[in-house]
A and B are shown apart, each in its own frame.
Chain A
């Protein structure tokens, strides 16, 4: 099975305390730690496990700048066979549809049986997989937490509310967005990264892909982020301060009053 996995380089929510810049309209990006989107690791792991079972190859792809190459290499160190970087100044400021349009152009140059993405990324929209499927006229399932590959068909479980699972049978080729917890992504060590350090990763621009630059990027975007802000949500929590002993004393009084002890 030929599998394409769409990945993204994102600010790491576990490693950063997000603050606004001095103008208050963007994140302070100077010291941000970036990594591959957490959901994408599960998608790549799943692809590798499917190929281990039924044969084929795994290609990882991203839309981004030069620095996005590092996330492709990381996923290749996990075991993906190929990487493709779609990069062009014209891609900057794309909305979900712009990204899906760029990916579609490259997908159509290959022959993939299965296309995976993470269920969501840093922006929390969870949109690119579903858009790509519609553009390619392929069936789609989101929030997938189980895959059983078959012949020309695939059985997938979707995670729905309350921890329940919705089982579906789909024709191949199809597009799936992968939920965390579907597997346990393998650890990538320094040695693994070194092994793929010199593998060539092709870069493709808007003209390589035959994309009209006006249809993507901020020019083509119908939905645009205007700014970042920290909402005023009233007082928030009453913060307990002092030494740990003092905090615990205050907390115990409150817990007693609220039925916690």
Chain B
């Protein structure tokens, strides 16, 4: 029987949604696996979330230390290395925190590492089969993970079905005393909040969202004209902000804004999971892309294979003529 540990991040006294997803992910690794939740933090928030986790997990480990009041991955890594048993299989969310923590942790634990897993296809002895994506989601791959000496596996948030809590009746085990020396050479200074832009894209029912397919800064006008015709607002994917063509507050995605429009017009957007992670509320998605293999066509409701630079002006004109 595999013993799986699930690292549960939380903020402001609430566990991240992966708390409910990890228990189904663990079942897909091994139906009979014992699963232990692991939480690090400090004080009342940690205690509250640890108690809540007993409804989902039969065992909950908490590591309380003032140095982990803010989840600095360098500190958390040291605590986990000290507390987790040799050969542990640990699940971590593939988030900006998990990416900071995981790779180095696998080295320290002398364990295998697998990143951004979206599904498991069972275990054969100590070889676990997982599914992940490459090339921005354009292709999927099967990977085998040799977990004989343990593993650190980052899991894509939202990839596994959430499990409702209620029956686990677990207990909290305090391992704070085992964490040892947590001093590091990286100190957390402060959080700088995202700047507020001139337009709040989260308030618009219709978004005309542009990606690489816009090709040039001068073409953004074309998207703006379509947005005006549709009484919509222009948003964008990451490359447009990286190129400094639109401000950061217009970016949809996990590292930008989370939007819940009624209609999402994905114009020249390939549809990476980081981008789609910011599109919530099940909107009607229209994708226009000249690449018929773009991943966006797998998640869109309606797809059109055309060059957005030709298509958007024609659509704007047709809408204006209504």
Chain A positions within 8 Å of B, measured between CB atoms, are 11, 13-14, 17-20, 27, 95-97, 100, 119, 122-131, 133-135, 138-143, 155, 157-171, 174, 180-181, 184, 222-231, 233, 236-240, 244-245, 247-249, 251-252, 254-255, 258-261
Contact = CB atoms under 8 A, between A and B. Distances in A.
Contacts, number: 256
B134 interface: yes
B30 interface: no
A230 B104 contact: no
A139 B72 CA distance: 12
B167 interface: no
Interface in B246-280: 248-249, 251, 254-258, 262-263, 265, 270
Nearest to A170: B186
Nearest to A171: B185
Interface string B13-29: 00000000000000000
Given A168-B187, A226-B142, A239-B305, 19 more contacts: A13-B138, A18-B135, A18-B139, A19-B293, A97-B106, A119-B99, A122-B134, A127-B103, A134-B103, A134-B105, A139-B184, A139-B186, A159-B255, A167-B189, A180-B239, A226-B129, A244-B311, A260-B265, A261-B230
A18, A164, A228, A255: most-surrounded residue (chain B CB, <10 A): A255
A256 to B, nearest CB: 9
A225 B142 contact: yes
B300 interface: yes
A237 B297 contact: yes
A247 B303 CA distance: 10
A225 B134 CA distance: 11
For the complex, would chain A's binding face be called helix, strand, loop or mixed by DSSP majority?
Answer: mixed
A21 to B, nearest CB: 11
Contacts of A248: 314-315, 318
Given A222-B112, A224-B143, A233-B298, A247 B104 contact: no
Contacts of A100: 107
A166, A171, A254: most-surrounded residue (chain B CB, <10 A): A166
Contacts of B287: 237
Contacts of B291: 17
A223 B103 contact: no
A35 to B, nearest CB: 13
Interface in B215-230: 230
A244 B314 contact: yes
B306 interface: yes
B192 A260 contact: no
B104 A134 contact: yes
Contacts of A171: 185-186
B301 interface: yes
Shortest Cβ-Cβ A-B pairs, 3 listed: A130-B103, A237-B303, A163-B194
Contacts of A123: 134
A163 to B, nearest CB: 3
B242 interface: yes
Contacts of A14: 212
Contacts of B131: 231
Contacts of B115: 96, 124-127
B205 interface: yes
Nearest to A183: B242
B134 A230 contact: no
A108 B158 CA distance: 40
A165 B191 contact: yes
A111 B291 CA distance: 46
Nearest to B101: A130
